[in-house]
Amino acid sequence: MKKLLCLVPLLILLSCGNPRIERLPDSTETGLTDYLRSRHMSPADLILRSSEDSRGVLLTGTRGLQSDITLLRYLVPVLHDAGHPSMALWFLHSGDEERIEAFMSGSDESITAEDLLFRADPARAGYTEYRDFLDYLKAFNAALPENSTFRVSGLPPLPDQADPFLVYTIPELPVSSGTRDRVLIHNPLQNSSGHWEIPFQGGLVHLMIHKWSLYRYSGILLSDSPFGDLYLTIEDRDAGRKVSEQYDGLILMGDREIFQPLSLLEGFINEGNTAAALESFPDQWIREQIKPAAYLMNRKLSSRHNRLTGVLEDMEVSAEEHYPQ
């Protein structure tokens, strides 16, 4: 019995980290569906609404998820064609503006995408897809007509620069939105207790599976919308804090894609850059005098990545259970 009692807290903790999908009340489902059918927007429509008074957008996503990079790739030509060719990325550092410009223009071929990611944050930014996205931006710039460019900067933007139209960040790196519209990507997220959740207790995932085949990729205004009355996390629901109090818009990125993790860069931290990488691991017992420090840091990153991958797999299984048999 004593052993069983000891296991109870562990079982509670595990269940809190993987909540099952909850259906929204029928009346709420009907209201949300009617709204989408009458006022559906694409993600681009939502982002470009901010161009009407040049406010710009603060886009909040989740580190390590494929859906964020898919959305950013989609938005680059959209922003360029709309006359807003600028983007700030959390996985670049604002102090590296000259290096970023040299990389994007191709004027210094010694600078690589991995160099820029490492200088920003070796503890967070070492993903293959982030590197590939920077290479995509470089190729996109190279294909533009002369005297045209898509400007890429780090986060936060330098105060003496014109603000980029779109700023992409993550909750771990809070940024003041200023006059920008605050837009959230519908991703799995961590609450303040560190537990991972499916947004809105999974209610929108259920609807994407059963009723929203045409609206799985949508931009949604939260103000004056039934979506704005929803609760993003269980903590928000308990506190009565509506999502419209935190964000102005929401972007749906599908019912499966949001559970796909990114891939860690092999050898991102190595014995050649260990000393620099240690600055990003201030809370670790790793020290420069320990010979295999790169191995220890990579082991920590792999462990954290594996935990996230496991959480996403469990969430995807929960979603699969809602698919019609």
Report the CATH number that the domain containing residue 225 is assigned in CATH.
3.40.50
Q: What band does 13 get if pLDDT is binned at 50, 70 and 90? A: very low
- Residues 51/180, Cβ–Cβ less than 8 Å: no
Which one of 259, 286, 301 terminates a domain? 259
Of residues 40 and 3, more confidently modeled: 40
Does 49 fall in a domain? yes
What is the tens place of the pLDDT at every residue in 239-285? Answer: 999 999 999 999 999 999 999 999 999 989 888 887 788 777 755 54
Do 173 and 245 lie in a common domain? yes
Does 35 fall in a domain? yes
What is the tens place of the pLDDT at every residue in 157-183? Answer: 655 556 799 999 999 988 888 889 999
Does 1 fall in a domain? no
Does 289 fall in a domain? yes
Does 6 fall in a domain? no
Does 4 fall in a domain? no
- φ, ψ dihedrals at 183, nearest 5°: -120, 135
- Dihedral of the CA atoms 182, 185, 188, 189 (nearest 10)? -20
Do 147 and 201 lie in a common domain? yes
Do 226 and 298 lie in a common domain? no
What is the tens place of the pLDDT at every residue in 189-216? Answer: 998 888 899 999 999 999 999 999 999 9
Q: How many domains does the chain have?
A: 2
The Cα 132–Cα 11 span in angstroms is 39
pLDDT at 18 over 60: no
Do 154 and 115 lie in a common domain? yes
Do 28 and 91 lie in a common domain? yes
Residue 202: both structure tokens together: 């999974």
- Residues 37/148, Cβ–Cβ less than 8 Å: no
Residue 158 is predicted with a pLDDT of 54
- Residues 309/249, Cβ–Cβ less than 8 Å: no
Do 59 and 181 lie in a common domain? yes
Beta-carbon contacts of residue 136 (< 8 Å; ≥ 6 apart): 73, 76
Do 164 and 249 lie in a common domain? yes
The Cα 160–Cα 182 span in angstroms is 23
CA distances from 151 to 33, 140, 141, 144, 190 (A): 38, 11, 9, 12, 31
Of residues 141 and 2, more confidently modeled: 141
Print burial letters for 260-294: b (CB count within 10 Å at least 16), e (below 16). Answer: bbbbbbeebbeeeebeebbebbeeeebeeeeeebb
The Cα 54–Cα 267 span in angstroms is 41
Do 305 and 224 lie in a common domain? no
Q: H/E element holding 60?
A: strand 57-60
Does 94 fall in a domain? yes
Do 254 and 291 lie in a common domain? no
Residue 161 is predicted with a pLDDT of 56
Beta-carbon contacts of residue 159 (< 8 Å; ≥ 6 apart): none
pTM, entire model: 0.89
Find how far residue 125's CA is from the centre of its chain.
12
Do 241 and 298 lie in a common domain? no
- Residues 195/237, Cβ–Cβ less than 8 Å: no
pLDDT at 289 over 80: no
pLDDT at 14 over 80: no
Domain hosting residue 312, numbered range = 274-320
Does 269 fall in a domain? no
Do 209 and 233 lie in a common domain? yes
Do 222 and 290 lie in a common domain? no
The Cα 153–Cα 165 span in angstroms is 11
Beta-carbon contacts of residue 26 (< 8 Å; ≥ 6 apart): none
